Structure formats: C-alpha cells, structure tokens
Amino acid sequence: MTFLDFVEGPMFYAAAAIFVTAGLWRIIGILRIGKKPDLAPARGSATAGWWKGNLRHFFPRGLFAERTWMHILGGYGFHLGLFVLLFFAAPHIAFIERFTGLSWPALPRWGFIIAAEIAFAGLIVLWVRRFSDPVMRQISDWDDHIGTWLTFLVMLTGCLALQESVVALRATHMLFVNIWLIYFPFSRLMHAFTVFLSRGATGASYGRKGMNP
Amino acid sequence: MRHILSLLAICLIVATSDPASAQDPGMQTRESIMERQRGLGLSGDYTLPSGQPPAPETVQPGSVPQLGTRGYASDSDIWRALRDGSANATPSSSTAASQLMQVIGDDWRMIRHDYLIKYAGWVLLGVILLIALFYLIRGRIMIRGGRAGNTIPRFSMSHRIAHWFLASTFILMALSGLIILLGRPVLVKGLGEWLMVGQLGMDASVVTTLKSVNGVLNNAALQGHNLFGPVFILSLLIVIIRFMKGNFFQKADFGWILKGGGLIGGHASSNHYNFGEKTWYWVVVLVGLMISVTGLFLLFPWLSDNLRFHQAATILHAVGALGMICFAMGHAYVGSVGMEGSLDSMLRGEVDVNWAKEHHDLWYEEVTGEKVTHDHDEIPETAKGTA
C-alpha cells in the first residue's frame, strides 16, 4: 500500500468517521441542552426571531459597517471562496463521486482559480486581523490559530497539487485534509454548523420578547 | 518545401532499393557528394533511380540559396540566414514571424544561467551576512531613554491589515519563486553533487533522489507562485494606496541622509516616515509594480506575441524580486529584532512615546503639539544594545 493509498483509503475513512460521529455528537449534545421554560407571556414569535437572528447577522449594522468593512469583505471572501472550492472544483467533485456516486457540474478552471484567490486573500486578512486587533488578540487562543493554519495548509497543499501530476503533492493534500477532518469537530471550526444554532437561539430568545435580535 | 520533399523521396527510394542498384553509375555516392560540395562536378552527372534527371534548382534573386538535392558548397550561409531571420522561413507560431531561430534565446539563457542563477544565491547570502554583521557590531538599537510606558497610535487597523496582507503574500511568493529559480542549483548541484557526493562521498543515487525532490518542489512552487501572484498584486495595490500619504520625500529627509539615519552625526529628525522607510515604500511601489507586470506577462503569455519581451520579462522579474527580497530582509530586521519598540507599531498599532520622540520627532510634534527635546541623544550605558 502506497502512502497515497493509505491517506485516501484507511486514514480517510477513519477521519471521515471521526468527523461525522464527533460532529453529530456535538450538535446533538447542544440540541439536548434545551432551555428553561420561559414563564413570561410571549410578545412575539420565537420562530420569526430564529430566522431574523440568522439572517440579520449576514449584514453589518450601520454603525459598525465603516469600521469593519475590511474583515467583512475578508470573511465573505474566505467563506464563499472556500465553499465554491470545496463543492465546485472538478477534482473535489470527482473525489466525492468516487465514494458516493454523486456528481454535479464543476466550475471551469478559471472559476476555480478565482475562487481560490478570493478564499486565500480572505483567510489571510482574517488571520492578520486576529493578531492585529487588540480585542481579537485577547479573545483568540491556540484553537483559533490552529484552526486557521490547518485550513490554510489544506487550501495551500490543494493548490500546490493543482496540476494533478505529482502523487506526493496529492498525498500531502489528503494528509492535511484528514488531519483537518479529525480536528474539526473538537474545535471552533464547528462554527460552520453551530453558527446557525447559536444565532437562531439568540434570535428566538429576542423574538419571543418582541425585540430585534 | 518542394526541395525537401524531393530529398525525402530520394532518401526513401535509396533506402528501399536493391543494394545492387547502388552500383548504378547514375546514382550519387559519398564521393560524388563530397566532390559537388568542393565545387567539383557541378555539371550534373547523376540521375534519379527512375532515370529522370533531378529538377533544376531555382534560386530567387536576393534570397539565400536553400539546401537543394545537390547540396551547396557550404550550409553555413543557410544557418546564418536562419539565425538572423533573413531566410524568410517561419514556424507556425506567430511569436517569431518570419524567423525560424530565435538567437536572442542564447543570450537570455546565458544571462539566466551564467549570471542570474549563479550569483542570486550568493547575493541573498551576502545580505543575510551583512545584516548579521551589523547586528554583531551595532547590537539592538534600544530606546535611549528607555520605554516611557505611554503609547501613541501610529498605524490604524486597516494599515496593519494591509501591511501584513502584503507581507504574507510576499513571503509565499518569495519562497516559491526562490524554489523555482534556485531549486536545482542549490538542491541538486550544491547539496547533492557538491556536498553529499563530492565532499561526503555518498552514493551518486542520492543526486537522483534530490532531482526527484526538486521536481516535486518545483511543480508545487510553480502552482503556488501562479496562484498567489494575483493575490500579491491585490495586496500590493492596497498597500500602495493605504501608505501613500506621508511617503513623499520632505526637507527633513536630507538631514536624515546626512546623519546616516542617526548612525553618524547625532540625532536625525524625521516625519511620520523617515528616509529609509520612504525609500522602501517607493521600492515596493516601483519594483513591486514591475514584478507584477512582468509576472502577469509570464502568467498570461498571450498578452504579448513578442518573444523578446517575454525573455526580458523573466530576467526583470527575477532581478526585481531578488532586489525586493534583499530590501525586505533589511526591513524585517529593523522592524523586529534590530530596533526596540518598532514591531509594536505594526503589531499593536501603537508605539512608545520615547520611541516616537527618538525616531519620528517631527511626527510626534505634529501629532501631540509638544516640542521634543533630545535629552537622551547621548546613549546611556544602561540603554546600549548588546550584541
């Protein structure tokens, strides 16, 4: 068994299993916490508040927009770029098809490159803000930096293997993907899923009180 | 083309004919060919195997005679014509219309191999040694009055993000570029052939392994370099715009130069940026734009069909990048270990008041309205750096 076979075979299966199992365990754990019954009479809809809480936070509030435009751009650039990279790059679709049989149209190469450029620019800006901003620096810990760097390394090794002609580069990329998958559920990278629960819970609480989240 | 086809036809017929027919007095032999090339026997004393005489060779007035079925006294005229482009022969590519051979490629290759690649590594090593030597002699430049404990804001968040954004992409571009340029000479020639095999007497197969490693690294570096190039250009443009204010040369800069930035002749006053910082800014602007433009031409070769331009672009790109890496190393040194308090400006956006008074007194006066006195110009023993 070659190293590539290992990282695309047993190691990938193990990493994917850990990712799914631990991720579900965390999400189910959060959902099971529940909340204390609110005895006060409702002044608004908790469901509407849940949606409002999720949607309103996609846009910066007027007061903050001017101060935060750089990391808002960086944040959107990185997350949208990564989403496009992950699900619309031809090699990724081929990889997913290999395991699930599912396939969908891929982006042309130039589209993939532009998405990668935007994602990289966004990630660098976000990381620079993390250590430059005094408040961000105070609330950041190793988990944030490890998560950022692992994501960066996964993206970087993926782009270095872009030509798909060197087995060692593909294997390196897959190795980092596996490490990332294993680390993901135990870190703040889980915000990819929990963000909607968190925003929704806050929104629902505010909505029930008849307030804007 | 007709002549070449005739020649091929002859070769084919000769190759497939009965060996006995080679004795035919009408067929050409090595001796007859040599005779014709010496200018003898040009009257035409041979025929094709079919018995037909060869087609007469026509030479256009003013053009260089092409290689015909009989050959000529010398082929060097043809090759010379092909090299200087007067042969009117053209490949299908539009990059060198009417010119079959691109002779300037020899010069380009020579400059790249015999000068650029040969000395680039030594230049970088020399700059590193110079910085180390400066550190050993001068030590860390300390704040003369020590830290005041109070800070004043120097760079906004957008300044810092722009700076580190460029720094990050520059490091990625520099590393990948150096692998592309110097990977083989350093890894295969230097480490493998010279050190491991030549000096340490290891098996020559280690060179083959290093060649494979270099191949993988180069493949990866090229992909990374091409991908990060546009991101580098974006970050460069942001820095150019964000840092332009205050980076135009001013009267105080002349005094700063005369005093060697404070190294000779006492305290050197400066504004928000001193002469060194301004020079670095304009190097980033000019050289950065130059390597960006040449890089774009290398990334998208269809932007120009002039091969000479592309050859010049590769040289300018590498030379500019090397110069920028050298400057950046000096900048990184002064901005971190070389000078106490300077890293704060880019990490926290604030600098110590005493640092501001010492290094950017005119800016400090402008911001605070407070007159700066240089009481600490004489370096106290306690504040001297140690090597």
Three-state secondary structure of B215-279: HHHHHHHHHHHHHHHHHHHHHHHHHHHHCCCCCCCCHHHHHHHHCHHHCCCCCCCCCCCCHHHHH
More confident position, B71 or B84: B84
Q: Any CB–CB contact under 8 A between A138 and chain B?
A: no
Contact B339, B277 (CB under 8 A): no
Give the model's pLDDT for residue A191: 95
What is the arithmetic mean of pLDDT over B29-33?
70
Answer yes or no: is pLDDT of B65 > 70: no
Give the model's pLDDT for residue B7: 47
Mutation site, B158, B159, B165, interface A, largest A CB count within 10 A: B165
Tell me the pLDDT tens digit for each residue of B184-228: 999 999 999 999 999 999 998 999 999 999 999 999 999 999 999
Give the model's pLDDT for residue B9: 53
What is the arithmetic mean of pLDDT over A178-185?
97
Measured between CB atoms, which of A71, A124, A163 is closest to B223? A163
Give the model's pLDDT for residue A93: 94
Task: Give yes or no: residues B179 and B117 share one domain.
Answer: yes
Give the model's pLDDT for residue B18: 46
Residue B33 lies in a domain: no
Measured between beta carbons, the chain B residues lying within 8 angstroms of A127 are 168
Chain centroid to CA B131: how far? 23
Residues in B 122-181 with any Cβ partner in A closer than 8 A: 157-158, 160-161, 164-165, 168-169
CB contact under 8 A, A116 and B227: yes
More confident position, B134 or B260: B134
How far does B230 lie from chain A, in Å, by closest CA?
Answer: 7
Q: Given pLDDT bands bounded at 50, 70 and 90, which one contains residue B98?
A: low
Q: Please spell the DSSP secondary structure of B162-174, one letter per residue.
A: HHHHHHHHHHHHH
Rounded Cα–Cα distance for residues A143 and A149 (Å) = 10
Task: Give yes or no: residues B325 and B357 share one domain.
Answer: yes
Mutation site, A85, A123, A124, A153, interface B, largest B CB count within 10 A: A124
Q: What domains are there in chain A, each with its CATH number?
A: 3-30+61-208 (1.20.950.20)
Give the model's pLDDT for residue B304: 83
* Phi and psi, residue A145, nearest 5°: -70, -40
Q: Any CB–CB contact under 8 A between A165 and chain B?
A: yes
Measured between beta carbons, the chain A residues lying within 8 angstroms of B228 are 120
What is the arithmetic mean of pLDDT over A66-70?
79
How far does A18 lie from chain B, in Å, by closest CA?
Answer: 30
Give the least confident one: B58-72, B106-120, B361-375: B58-72
Measured between CB atoms, which of B165, B222, B231 is closest to A117? B231
DSSP type of residue B43: T
Residue B39 lies in a domain: no
What is the arithmetic mean of pLDDT over B260-278?
86
DSSP type of residue B152: E
Task: Give yes or no: residues B285 and B305 share one domain.
Answer: yes
Answer yes or no: is pLDDT of B293 > 90: yes
What is the arithmetic mean of pLDDT over B235-253?
94
The percentage of chain A sitting over the pLDDT mark of 90, rounded to a whole number, equals 73
Task: Give yes or no: residues B115 and B81 share one domain.
Answer: no
Answer yes or no: is pLDDT of B385 > 80: no
Task: Give yes or no: residues B224 and B84 share one domain.
Answer: no
Domain count, chain B: 2
Give the model's pLDDT for residue B62: 52
Rounded Cα–Cα distance for residues A172 and B217 (Å) = 12
At residue A129's C-alpha, the angle toward residues A157 and B362, to 5°, is 125
Residue B191 lies in a domain: yes
One-letter amino acid identity for A201?
A: A
Residue B30 lies in a domain: no
How far does A15 lie from chain B, in Å, by closest CA?
Answer: 25
Give the model's pLDDT for residue A37: 83
CB contact under 8 A, B220 and A129: no
CB contact under 8 A, A163 and B231: no
Measured between CB atoms, which of B164, B216, B234 is closest to A166? B216
Residue B15 lies in a domain: no
Contact B42, B54 (CB under 8 A): no
CB contact under 8 A, A165 and B348: no
Looking at B47, B79, B102, the residue that finishes a domain is B102
Measured between beta carbons, the chain B residues lying within 8 angstroms of A168 are 216
Task: Give yes or no: residues B70 and B172 share one domain.
Answer: no
Compare all CA atoms of chain B with the CA of A66 and give the residue at the minimum distance: B158
Q: Any CB–CB contact under 8 A between A41 and chain B?
A: no
Answer yes or no: is pLDDT of B14 > 50: no
Give the model's pLDDT for residue B106: 85
Measured between beta carbons, the chain B residues lying within 8 angstroms of A169 are 216, 219-220
Give the model's pLDDT for residue B91: 57
Answer yes or no: is pLDDT of B379 > 80: no
Q: Any CB–CB contact under 8 A between B260 and chain A?
A: no
Query: Domain span at residue B221?
Result: 105-383
Q: Any CB–CB contact under 8 A between B244 and chain A?
A: no
In this structure, what CATH number is given to the domain that contains residue B208?
A: 1.20.950.20
Residue B196 lies in a domain: yes
> Hey, which of A123-127, B24-28, B32-36, B88-92 has the most confident mean pLDDT?
A123-127
In sequence order, the β-bridge partners of residue B350 are B153
Measured between beta carbons, the chain B residues lying within 8 angstroms of A163 are 219, 222-223
Residue B214 lies in a domain: yes
Tell me the pLDDT tens digit for each residue of B145-191: 889 889 999 999 889 989 999 999 999 999 999 999 999 999 999 99
Task: Give yes or no: residues B231 and B303 share one domain.
Answer: yes
Tell me the pLDDT tens digit for each residue of A87-133: 999 999 999 999 899 999 999 988 988 999 999 999 999 998 888 88
The alpha carbon dihedral of B106, B107, B108, B114 has a sign of positive
Q: Any CB–CB contact under 8 A between A121 and chain B?
A: yes
CB contact under 8 A, A160 and B224: yes
Rounded Cα–Cα distance for residues B366 and B152 (Å) = 12
Task: Give yes or no: residues B227 and B95 share one domain.
Answer: no
Q: Given pLDDT bands bounded at 50, 70 and 90, which one contains residue B19?
A: very low
Q: Report yes or no for ipTM above 0.90.
A: no
Residues in B 278-317 with any Cβ partner in A closer than 8 A: none
Looking at B52, B77, B102, the residue that finishes a domain is B102
Contact A83, A135 (CB under 8 A): no
Give the model's pLDDT for residue A38: 83
Answer yes or no: is pLDDT of B95 > 70: no
Q: Any CB–CB contact under 8 A between B211 and chain A?
A: no
Give the model's pLDDT for residue B16: 47
Q: Any CB–CB contact under 8 A between A167 and chain B?
A: no
Task: Give yes or no: residues B232 and B90 share one domain.
Answer: no
Burial of A135 (0-12, 13-18, 19+ CB in 10 A): exposed
Give the least confident one: B68-77, B96-105, B122-131, B171-180: B68-77
Task: Give yes or no: residues B216 and B83 share one domain.
Answer: no
Helix/strand/coil for B59: coil
Measured between CB atoms, which of B216, B346, B348 is closest to A168? B216
- For the whole prediction, is pTM greater than 0.90? no
Task: Give yes or no: residues B67 and B151 share one domain.
Answer: no
Residue B164 lies in a domain: yes
Answer yes or no: is pLDDT of A161 > 80: yes
Q: Given pLDDT bands bounded at 50, 70 and 90, which one contains residue B264?
A: confident
Give the model's pLDDT for residue B276: 93
Q: Given pLDDT bands bounded at 50, 70 and 90, which one contains residue B20?
A: very low
What is the arithmetic mean of pLDDT over B355-379?
81
Answer yes or no: is pLDDT of B378 > 80: no
More confident position, B43 or B230: B230
Give the least confident one: A94-103, B86-95, B254-263: B86-95
CB contact under 8 A, A124 and B219: no
CB contact under 8 A, B223 and A113: no
Task: Give yes or no: residues B86 and B204 share one domain.
Answer: no
Chain centroid to CA A191: how far? 7
Give the model's pLDDT for residue B24: 52
